Amino acid sequence: MPSLMKLFSLRIIAFGLIAFAGFNSSATTPGARPEFPRPAVDQPTSPTRGKEVAVLSGGCFWGIQAVYEHTKGVISATSGYAGGSADTANYETVSSGTTDHAESVKIVYDPSKITYGQLLMIFFSVAHNPTEWNKQGPDWGAQYRSSIFYATPEQRRIAEAYIKQLNAAKIYPGKIVTQVVPLDGFYPAEKYHQDYLKHNPDNPYIVINDLPKLQNLKREFPELYREY
């Protein structure tokens, strides 16, 4: 079951609606900002099929996982924990806010179909609000921070260059606060967290906070959107 913190967040639905509506008005509503820029620094598309990994955190992992499960070129997306140690990688402990973990998603993708920079473009544009510190929608705490966990120097270079590019373009009214940190380990979350949106589309938290992300993905990047 969700933690007490997540259950509490479900009881403050009105706040969640206001919070996400605010994010939409400043970041994802057509006409409210320029067309979201593609990364100026990126990997070239691979000439052959393969598998590479990206790990991202930006609030509750339910929505982030769903966004990437609807992204063309993504082979799998797994909810889990990154940033802390193996002994604290469980939902109740992470939800206490006393660990170094962030709710994260491990994305396995085919670099011949989608680039790392394109994954970050989706991350910054529709998956979460990168200007909020230790907060996304109705969820508060360091476990909901915005982070990019890089696995290679190339991923770090692309991520840092893109953040600099977006800040320079003033895409958001505030500065991007996303951390770019090394990936020391990823620990899959409990089974009931996997594919949560797919199995619980009528959950009020999902309806208010996460389904709009899929709508934004389909609207802003139709060439990258796919159904389940």
3-state secondary structure the chain: CCCHHHHHHHHCHHHHHHHHHHHHHHHHCCCCCCCCCCCCCCCCCCCCCCCEEEEEEECCHHHHHHHHHCECCEEEEEEEEECCCHHHCCHHHHHCCCCCCEEEEEEEECCCCCCHHHHHHHHHHHHCCCCCCCEECCEECHHHCEEEEECCHHHHHHHHHHHHHHHHHCCCCCCCCCEEEECCCEEECCHHHCCHHHHCCCCHHHHHHCHHHHHHHHHHCCCCECCC
User: What is d(CA 69, CA 156) in angstroms, rounded to the nearest whole number?
Assistant: 23
pLDDT at 139: 96
Lowest model confidence (mean pLDDT) among 4-13, 38-47, 150-159, 180-189: 4-13
> Which residue type sits at 14?
A
Terminal Cα distance for the chain, rounded = 24
- What is the distance between the alpha carbons of residues 79 and 89, in angstroms, rounded to a whole number? 12
Report the percentage of the chain scoring pLDDT > 90. 84
Q: Which CATH architecture has domain 4-220?
A: 2-Layer Sandwich (3.30)
Catalytic residue among 54, 56, 60, 166: 60
pLDDT at 161: 98
82-117 per-position pLDDT tens digit: 999 999 999 999 999 999 999 999 999 999 999 999
pLDDT digit string, tens, across residues 186-222: 999 999 999 999 999 999 999 999 999 999 999 999 9
User: What pLDDT digit, counting tens, does each position of 29-57 carry?
Assistant: 334 556 899 999 999 999 999 999 999 99
Tokens, residue 69: 């499960």
What's the confidence (pLDDT) of residue 34?
A: 62
Residue 59 neighbours by CB under 8 Å, 6+ apart: 103, 128, 136, 137, 139, 144, 146
Pairing verdict, β 186-188 and 135-136: unpaired
Residues 72 and 82: their CA atoms lie apart, in Å, by 24
pLDDT greater than 50 at residue 7:
no
pLDDT tens column, 15-35: 344 333 334 433 433 345 568
- Higher model confidence: residue 32 or residue 148? 148
pLDDT at position 127, please? 97
The amino acid sitting at 70 is H
The answer to whether the beta carbons of residues 57 and 76 sit under 8 Å apart is no
Let me know: does 109 contact 44? Beta carbons within 8 Å: no
Q: Is 131 a catalytic residue?
A: no
The reported pLDDT for the residue numbered 19 is 39
State residue 145's pLDDT score: 97
Q: Is the distance from CB of 57 to CB of 105 less than 8 angstroms? A: yes
